[in-house]
Amino acid sequence: MRPIVLLMLISACVCAAQSTEATSRIDINRDFAAAEALLQAGKVADAAQAFEHITYLQPDFAEAYFALGVSYAQLGKPEEAAAALRSYLKWKPESPDGHAILGILLFHDGRIADARPELEQAVRLDRSQSEAAKALGRVYNLEGNPAKAIALLRPLVTSGADDDARTILASALLSSGDAGSAGRLLDETLTANPHSPLQTYILAARAARDTHDLPKAFEICERGTRIYPNSERLEALAASFPEAALIERTSQRIEQIKSNLKDAGEMIAVGRIIIASDKGKRSSALELARALLARAVQLEPENATAWYHYGRCLAAQAKPEEAAAAFSKALSVVHDDELRVLILGQVGFTETHFSHFDAADEAFRKSLELNRKLDHHIPESALLYYKFLVLRERDAEWHALLDEILRWEPLYAPAMLERAKNYLAGEQPEKALEAALLVTRNTEDPETLRSAHFLLVKIYRMTGNDKQAEVHANWIKSH
Q: CATH no. for residue 249?
A: 1.25.40.10
Same domain, 267 and 356: no
Average pLDDT over residues 383-390: 97
Is 149 domain-assigned? no
Residues 2 and 100 in one domain: yes
Looking at the chain, the whole-number percentage of residues with pLDDT higher than 70 is: 95
The pTM of the full predicted model, rounded to 2 decimals, is 0.85
State how far the alpha carbon of 16 is from the alpha carbons of 78, 85, 96, 135, in Å.
21, 15, 11, 20
Whether residue 403 lies inside any domain: the answer is no
DSSP per-residue codes, 389-433 = HHHTT-HHHHHHHHHHHHHH-TT-HHHHHHHHHHHHHTT-HHHHH
pLDDT digits (tens, 9 = 90+) for 336-346: 999 999 999 99
Does 217 reside within a domain? no
Q: What is the mean predicted confidence (pLDDT) over 251-275?
A: 95
pLDDT of residue 226: 93
My answer on whether 92 and 106 are in the same domain is yes
The last residue of a domain, from among 394, 427, 442: 394
Instruction: Indicate whether 464 and 479 sit together in one domain.
Output: yes
DSSP 375: S
pLDDT at 26: 61
Answer yes or no: is pLDDT of 449 > 70.
yes
Residue in 166, 255, 179, 168 with CA at minimum distance from that of residue 217: 179
Nearest CA to 421 out of 410, 411, 409, 435 is that of 435
433/372 Cα distance (integer angstroms):
30
| C-alpha distances out from residue 169 to 30, 140, 155, Å | 45, 11, 10
Instruction: Tell me, yes or no, whether 265 lies in a domain.
Output: yes
Mean pLDDT calculated for residue range 48-76: 91
Identify whether 345 is part of a domain. Answer: yes
Residues 437 and 360 placed together within one structural domain of the fold: no
Distance CA 190, CA 155 (A): 21
At 453 the pLDDT is 96
Same domain (yes/no): 304, 290? yes
- Over residues 129-178, the pLDDT tens digits come to 999 999 999 999 988 899 999 999 999 998 887 888 999 999 999 999 99
d(CA 324, CA 309): 12
pLDDT at res. 181 = 96
Number of domains in the chain: 5
Residue ranges making up the domain that contains 358: 336-394
Is the same domain home to 21 and 138?
Answer: yes
Indicate whether 44 belongs to any domain: yes
Whether 19 and 85 map to the same domain: the answer is yes
The reported pLDDT for the residue numbered 9 is 52
Amino acid 187: pLDDT: 95
Using pLDDT thresholds of 50, 70 and 90, give the confidence band for residue 25. Answer: low
Q: Is 103 exposed, middle or buried (0-12, 13-18, 19+ CB in 10 A)?
A: buried
Residue 138 and residue 4 in one domain: yes
State residue 343's pLDDT score: 98
* Of 281 and 312, the one with more pLDDT: 312
242, pLDDT greater than 80: yes
Per the CB < 8 A criterion, the answer to whether 156 and 162 are in contact is no
CA 467 from centroid of its chain's CA atoms: 32
The pLDDT of residue 2 is above 60? no
State whether 340 and 234 are in the same domain. Answer: no
Residue 284, pLDDT score = 87
Burial of 243 (0-12, 13-18, 19+ CB in 10 A): exposed
Tens-place pLDDT, residues 371-386? 999 999 999 999 999 9
**Under a CB-based contact definition with an 8 Å cutoff, are residues 302 and 330 in contact?**
no
Domain membership of residue 245 (yes or no) is yes
- Is the pLDDT reported for residue 232 higher than 60? yes
Kindly state whether residues 422 and 459 are assigned to the same domain.
yes
180 with 285, same domain: the answer is no
Confidence category of residue 24, pLDDT binned at 50, 70, 90? very low
- pLDDT for 285 beyond 80: yes
Please say if the pLDDT value at position 21 is more than 70: no
- Final residue of a structural domain among 212, 237, 254: 212
- Given a contact cutoff of 8 angstroms between Cβ atoms, the answer to whether 274 and 242 are in contact is no
Query: Residue 298, Cβ neighbours under 10 Å: how many?
Result: 11
As a whole number, the mean pLDDT across the chain is 91
Q: Is residue 407 part of a domain?
A: no
- C-alpha to C-alpha distance for 200 and 165, rounded to whole angstroms: 11
CA–CA gap between residue 422 and residue 435 (Å, rounded): 10
| pLDDT (average), residues 83-110 | 93
The Cβ of residue 391 has, within 10 Å, a number of other Cβ atoms equal to 12
